[in-house]
């Protein structure tokens, strides 16, 4: 296990509060550090027996956030802790658990982790050769030299996500079309030096940002009548389960499809806080494809809460009017 303490700086959250993308990167950084902890090697020095540099490529992440403690309660300059515990199956398959909270809230005893109070994630990854050292975009799995990787606990059987990944690729999440559905995809071009550096694949966490951009496009422009653009600051992530089947580089064009539903919920769905009013719960499946060859890159099942501060409750009638018209 590894626990890292951080101050949330402008490099994490800009001038705002914690968001999903920043949290995923904090988890990803801790994961990379844990893999080489105590070896004397940096994460970018983990190599196989041919000297090729390796890195852990996620094929599944499952993030959960308590409904009464949204991510944006963590603000610029807050001191926080990030915990990660990694296990290994065979030479190249990894399973990891994560917890995030205020500084000191992450116990070194994983049995004491309180996932009901703090954001948590489970993930699986493959140890693969850095794509900049291989031809083409296909992942090449390779085992690291023993001296380059930390001692990790061993799994007795393959991770459940291995089989689930195959099922999801074939059947998706089985979500039936509801009042949220895109007949035509939302298109997205991967900006150079913004979503991906030249010559490098896009970091896994960017998929959540791309999905959120497509979600905003659909809810404010594709749905008729569209939701007020203020909805962007009133949507709070509850859960995102993502399976990754590929990646892309800068300047690629993507097609994104979504299907799901939005339903009104009890005003206290989020808990006892009197500062917020819950309006609706949104559940949807979202798929990201490479436009030029129709390759599935990632698919997620997402749950979000539409909740409004009591000081902005005049937005609620507008949101409910659109929901009831869908």
The SS3 of residue 220 is helix
What SS3 class is residue 256? strand
pTM above 0.75, yes or no: yes
Q: Same topology for domains 1-165 and 172-326, yes or no?
A: yes
pLDDT digits (tens, 9 = 90+) for 308-324: 999 999 999 999 999 99
Virtual CA dihedral for 170, 175, 177, 178, nearest 10 degrees?
Answer: -170
The mean per-residue pLDDT over the stretch 253-272 comes to: 94
Task: Read off the pLDDT of residues 183-237 as tens digits, 9 standing for 90 and up.
Answer: 799 999 998 878 888 777 889 999 999 999 999 999 999 888 889 999 999 999 9
- On the question of pLDDT at 282 being above 60, the answer is yes
**pLDDT (tens digit, 9 = 90+) per residue, 19-68?**
999 999 999 999 999 999 999 999 999 999 999 999 999 999 999 999 99
Q: In terms of Cα–Cα distance, which of 247, 308, 297 is closest to 274?
A: 308
Contacts of 86 (CB under 8 A, 6+ apart): 31, 34, 35, 94, 95, 96, 152, 153
Calpha distance 98→217 (Å, rounded): 31
The answer to whether the peptide bond before residue 110 is cis (omega within 30 degrees of 0) is no
Instruction: State the pLDDT at residue 14.
Output: 95
pLDDT computed for residue 176 by the predictor: 82
Q: How confident is the model at residue 283 (pLDDT cuts 50, 70, 90)?
A: very high
Q: pLDDT-derived band of residue 250, with 50, 70 and 90 as boundaries? A: confident
Q: How many CB atoms lie within 10 A of CB 260?
A: 21
Q: Does domain 1-165 have CATH number 3.10.129.10?
A: yes
Measured distance CA(280)–CA(263) in Å, rounded: 5
Q: How high is the pLDDT of residue 180?
A: 82
What integer pLDDT is reported at residue 318 of this predicted model? Answer: 95
Q: Which of 257, 276, 258, 256 is nearest to 267 (CA)?
A: 276
CA atoms within 13 A on the CB side of 115: 12
CATH topology of domain 172-326: Thiol Ester Dehydrase; Chain A (3.10.129)
Q: Where are the domains of the chain?
A: 1-165, 172-326
E strand or H helix that includes residue 296 = strand 295-309
* Spatial separation of the C-alpha atoms in residues 301 and 312, rounded to whole Å: 29
**How far apart are alpha carbons 178 and 259 in whole angstroms?**
7
* pLDDT tens digit sequence for 139-185: 799 999 999 999 999 999 999 999 999 999 999 998 888 888 777 99
pLDDT at 161: 96
**20 or 250, greater pLDDT:** 20
What is the tens place of the pLDDT at every residue in 122-140?
A: 999 999 998 776 665 567 9
């Amino acid at each position: 296990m590894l626990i890292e303490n951080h101050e949330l700086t402008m490099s994490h959250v800009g001038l705002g509060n914690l968001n999903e993308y920043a949290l995923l990167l904090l988890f990803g950084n801790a994961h990379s550090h844990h893999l080489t902890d105590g070896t004397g090697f940096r994460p970018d020095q983990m190599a196989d027996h041919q000297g090729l540099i390796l890195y852990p490529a996620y094929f599944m992440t499952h993030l959960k956030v308590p409904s009464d403690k949204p991510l944006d309660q963590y603000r610029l300059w807050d001191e926080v802790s990030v915990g990660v515990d990694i296990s290994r199956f065979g030479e190249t398959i990894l399973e990891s658990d994560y917890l995030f909270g205020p500084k000191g809230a992450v116990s070194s005893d994983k049995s004491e982790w309180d996932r009901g109070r703090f954001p948590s994630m489970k993930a699986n990854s493959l140890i693969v050769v850095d794509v900049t050292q291989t031809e083409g975009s296909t992942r090449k799995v390779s085992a690291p030299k023993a001296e380059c990787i930390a001692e990790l606990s061993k799994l007795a059987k393959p991770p459940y996500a291995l089989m689930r990944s195959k099922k999801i690729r074939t059947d998706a999440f089985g979500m039936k079309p509801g009042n949220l559905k895109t007949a035509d995809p939302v298109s997205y071009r991967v900006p150079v030096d913004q979503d991906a550096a030249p010559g490098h694949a896009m970091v896994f966490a960017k998929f959540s940002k791309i999905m959120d951009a497509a979600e905003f496009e659909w809810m404010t422009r594709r749905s008729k009548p569209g939701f007020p653009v203020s909805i962007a600051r009133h949507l709070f992530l509850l859960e995102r389960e993502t399976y990754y089947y590929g990646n892309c580089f800068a300047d690629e064009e993507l097609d994104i499809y979504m299907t799901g539903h939005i339903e009104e919920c009890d005003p206290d769905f989020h808990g006892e806080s009197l500062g917020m009013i819950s309006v609706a719960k949104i559940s949807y499946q979202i798929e990201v494809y490479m436009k030029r060859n129709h390759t599935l890159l990632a698919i997620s099942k997402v749950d979000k809460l539409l909740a409004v501060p009591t000081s902005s409750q005049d937005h609620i009638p507008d949101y409910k009017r659109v929901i009831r018209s869908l």
